[in-house]
Amino acid sequence: MICKNCDFDFNGKYCPNCSQSAKANSRLTFKNIIGDFLDTVFNLDKGFIYTFWNLLKKPGFVTRSFINSKRKNFTNPAKYLIITTAIQALSEYIIMYEDQGVPFTRFFFLPSEINESMHLWNETLTLDYPILFGIINLMVWPIPLYFLFKKLKNNIPELIATMMYFYGTIVILIQIMAFVYVPTAGKNLPIELVSLLATIYMLYALMSFYKKGSISWRIPRIIIAMLFLLTFRLFILPFMLAFFFPLN
Ligand SMILES: [Zn+2]
């Protein structure tokens, strides 16, 4: 058979040159389109739901498999992040009370215009630019992990992939919580609940990811990293944006 993707002559189920499936050489059908969609989302071997489920059960195992080049078992981190962000946008569109806005913290030690602008920036990033917001966090979060756990020799790209998995999982957990909370309480999820859920999962996931070294070496480092992530997400980033580019 001649591969229609790369013109390579081959026998078997997949083209050895570009890995396109032999099935893809036939004409596109409805079955292909629906099948591909269902496969990406539900595939039991490496689909999104399977990856999400494993990131709940054993987050360290999923990320270490990917880092250690077992890359076919789970949805890859970039795809995982994009699917979770799409689910977030859809779920916010369906269940969020738009008139209530996105809940945010007020910092008593800051003037009210700065607080107001931070609130608006948080809302704009969450609702209008969720992917950009995700990327900013994912570029910054690995930095403290890199320095605190330097001894374990994970590089920045490996830590970014890890954070993509954990961040995406937190996004989905928040949407699940919102589906229960918002209709019952009649209001949007408060920031305290979102932060609590995110902190618990991140703590658990980092404990599962960093298995090497003694407990007394790991725990304080994980706590320092967590404090940095929370401070960056809730304070540093919105404060810098509000300070340099006030929205009012
Ligand atoms: Zn090919």
Looking at the fold, whether 50 and 27 belong to one and the same domain comes out as no
Q: How far is the CA of 1 from the centre of ligand 1 (A)?
A: 10
Handedness of CA 32, 36, 37, 43 (dihedral sign): positive
Q: How far is the CA of 25 from the centre of ligand 1 (A)?
A: 10
Looking at the fold, whether 14 and 113 belong to one and the same domain comes out as no
Tell me the C-alpha distance between 136 and 86, whole Å. 17
User: Which domain covers residue 69, as residue numbers?
Assistant: 44-244
Tell me the C-alpha distance between 32 and 38, whole Å. 10
Nearest 5°: phi and psi at 152? -85, -5
| Strand ranges for 104-219 from DSSP E | none
3-state secondary structure of 13: coil
Binned average pLDDT, 10 residues per bin, the chain of 248 residues: 90 90 85 81 75 95 90 87 88 78 81 89 84 88 94 93 95 92 86 89 94 90 92 89 85
One-letter amino acid of 88: Q
Q: How far is the CA of 30 from the centre of ligand 1 (A)?
A: 23
Q: Report yes or no: 189 and 96 within 8 Å, Cβ to Cβ.
A: no
Instruction: Pick the closest to residue 98 from 6, 37, 188 (CA basis).
Output: 188
Looking at the fold, whether 200 and 119 belong to one and the same domain comes out as yes
Instruction: Pick the closest to residue 80 from 96, 92, 94, 63 (CA basis).
Output: 63
| Tokens 């809302």 -> residue | 123
Looking at the fold, whether 227 and 177 belong to one and the same domain comes out as yes
Q: How far is the CA of 41 from the centre of ligand 1 (A)?
A: 25
Looking at the fold, whether 33 and 95 belong to one and the same domain comes out as no
**Number of Cβ atoms within 10 Å of the Cβ of 160:** 19
Looking at the fold, whether 54 and 84 belong to one and the same domain comes out as yes
Q: What is the pLDDT of residue 194?
A: 87
Looking at the fold, whether 119 and 172 belong to one and the same domain comes out as yes
Nearest 5°: phi and psi at 15? -70, 125
Q: How far is the CA of 16 from the centre of ligand 1 (A)?
A: 7
Q: Total structural domains in the chain?
A: 2
One-letter amino acid of 1: M
Q: How far is the CA of 10 from the centre of ligand 1 (A)?
A: 8
Q: What is the pLDDT of residue 45?
A: 59
Looking at the fold, whether 49 and 28 belong to one and the same domain comes out as no
Q: What is the pLDDT of residue 233?
A: 86
Q: How far is the CA of 28 from the centre of ligand 1 (A)?
A: 17
| Tokens 């403290």 -> residue | 144
Q: How far is the CA of 57 from the centre of ligand 1 (A)?
A: 37
Tell me the C-alpha distance between 8 and 66, whole Å. 29
Q: What is the pLDDT of residue 88?
A: 86
Looking at the fold, whether 202 and 239 belong to one and the same domain comes out as yes
Residues in contact with 100: Cβ distance below 8 Å, sequence separation at least 6, in sequence order? 187, 188
Q: What is the pLDDT of residue 44?
A: 57
Q: How far is the CA of 21 from the centre of ligand 1 (A)?
A: 8
The string of pLDDT tens digits covering residues 133-152 is 888 988 999 999 999 999 99
Looking at the fold, whether 81 and 15 belong to one and the same domain comes out as no
Terminal alpha carbon distance of the chain:
63
Looking at the fold, whether 83 and 5 belong to one and the same domain comes out as no
Q: What is the pLDDT of residue 91?
A: 85
Looking at the fold, whether 126 and 152 belong to one and the same domain comes out as yes
